[in-house]
Structure 1
Amino acid sequence: MITIVGYTQKVALMGALKKVAPWINSLKDRGIHCILLEDGAPSQKSRIANDYLSVQSIEKMAWPGHSPDVNASEHAWPWIRRHVMRQFISSCTVEECQRQWEAEWEEMPIEVINQWVLGVIEVVRRIIITMETMAFMGSRNTEKSLLYSFIYN
């Protein structure tokens, strides 16, 4: 699974896709099945982005927008921020700050990442149960009901 994070504008997204597509296709050429995971931001739903992925024969995972709770990579940012802030020097330059973030990314223990990934399974299980319950009860406002049920269950 390939994840592109941090791109919110269409222009930046297309730039990212043009950089990532050759890499994804090189993996596919080696027999590695790849699915692109995006966070469902509006720019990622644009026709130009989807057409580009289609032309490149890149499969895109269906993913609901505004769903950080089911995206394990979303846990990385607060983790990195906490670790960078422990050693933060207020007068550091942009380059120094970037190096700090990259160093923390590289130092992130695989056990922590695995814990986040396994946690997604439980979140998805709860979403499925909640959605089945709402369908059974004939809920009309599924988004509000899902949010309420998810928070309080």
Structure 2
Amino acid sequence: MCEAPEKDLYAVLGAGPSDSVQQLRHRYQQLALQYHPDRLGADCSSESTVEKFVEVDAAWKILGDPTRRRQYDLQRRDECLYTYCCRCGGGFSVTEEETRRTQQDDEEEETEEGQPTGVVVCCDTCSLSVFITWPSERLQSQNTV
């Protein structure tokens, strides 16, 4: 029997790996209000709504716990991941895919030549955020190689 591929828990919450715990909690609360069976009452006629709530709740239980989130992030690491330790003991991480996506967004917005491009990355434990930059020429040369 073939197993269904595991869903991306960040996508379930409509978030990304670089989002802080506070941002994930906010997304979870929004989705819980939208899909919770008690809130929907009699309108909860379809099983898909209940299934969606269970899926959102399961994603939050993993991503809301720092230890379980780290384990999940390690399991899904099949692409290049850049990490840096935070002063609180947590960590910052950004995937190569996120840097490429940021580069594509910058190209569409026609950033000035020589201006650094970057991405905001949140610590997975505390509220500290950093802006990681790189020269746009470096990324262009990587894509042409």
Give the TM-score normalised by structure 2: 0.32
Scaled by the length of structure 1, what TM-score is found? 0.30
Between structures 1 and 2, the one with greater strand share? 2
